Amino acid sequence: MSKKEKIILDVDTGHDDAIAVLVAAKAEKIDLRGITVVSGNQTLPKTLKNTLSICDFAKIDAPVYAGMDRPLVREQVTAPDIHGESGLGGPTFPAPAKTAEDKQAVDFIIEEALNSEGELILVPTGPLTNIATAFNLKPKIKEKIKKIVLMGGAYGLGNITPSAEFNIYVDPEAAQVVFDSQIPLVMTGLDLTHQAKATQKIINRISELDNRIADLSVELIEFFRQTYKNTFGFDSPPLHDPCAVAKVIDEDVFSTKEMRVDIELNSQLNRGRTVCDFYNRTKKEPNAEVAINLNKEKFWNIVIKSLSKY
Ligand code: BDR
Ligand code: CA
């Protein structure tokens, strides 16, 4: 088997982050060095508790680190309409026995990058506050990071506003730091993740696995289905965050196009928009591989393969 990829998964655990954690933890291709948590879908105490609950319930032993509890400069924005008041509406968990490590997530990211000999991949699936803070505190770690594969942004429509995707909207200044980092970067935006809808057929395939984590995943997807139906009128909910994890597992799971991406920081209407130079009109150096087309068969096989291992 090919070499495992060392990753840090940086999450704001809501429903799709939870499934991203479950998929990453059992992927043969991944060496999950740690899970860092940020505020986003809910406040940090809630996203941390959700992450610990998932790891506890699924017996995932990767260390969990609490990170930043608010965006770099903006007021906090959360998503109770999508993920519920707890950030992980639907299933109930016993109080997690697992606890967060003492080290701050940002310190862990810095240390791990410095020790990784250029092999570390960052996989952020929430607002980019932890990652940007690490880069701001220790700029030299940027040379040590192999790649960033993030979920966020869109070259088309937004989801928190008509223009902007949630993760980037919540902390646009942090996003600009990350897109300016000159680290090879894959932007897994809504244009791609909306191709990853968990249809009834997919839910049935997961149910048939017949293990407690597959059952938990179905429960999470069912809650998500309801909020996506209410908010967006979608029949099936898109599993955004597992798409970024899947890209680390199999490079061919989706196609990308190289382009320059900048973040709108000043406008009222377009705050947090990922301005993607799809047609290279600015002639600026590209800074991102933007996700375009999902190979759905590969994607669901990756998700289901990991879930079958519980
Ligand atoms: C992103 O926002 C969150 O609600 C999801 O977890 C995902 O990371 C999609 O816009
Ligand atoms: Ca997320």
Q: Which structural domain, as residue segments, surrounds residue 119?
A: 5-307
Residue 11 CA to ligand 1 center (angstroms) comes to 10
Tell me if 244 CB under 6 Å of ligand 1. no
Choose among 147, 137, 173, 166: nearest CA to 232. Answer: 166
- Residue 254: CATH number of its domain: 3.90.245.10
pLDDT in tens, the chain (310 residues): 578 999 999 999 999 999 999 999 999 999 999 999 999 999 999 999 999 999 999 999 999 999 999 999 999 999 999 999 999 999 999 999 999 999 999 999 999 999 998 999 999 999 999 999 999 999 999 999 999 999 999 999 999 999 999 999 999 999 999 999 999 999 999 999 999 999 999 999 999 998 999 999 999 999 999 999 999 999 999 999 999 999 999 999 999 999 999 999 999 999 999 999 999 999 999 999 999 999 999 999 999 999 999 9
> How far apart are the C-alpha atoms of 292 and 304, rounded to whole Å?
22
Domain count, the chain: 1
Active site residue 12: yes
Tell me if 151 CB under 6 Å of ligand 1. yes
Torsion of CA 192, 197, 203, 205, to 10 degrees: -40
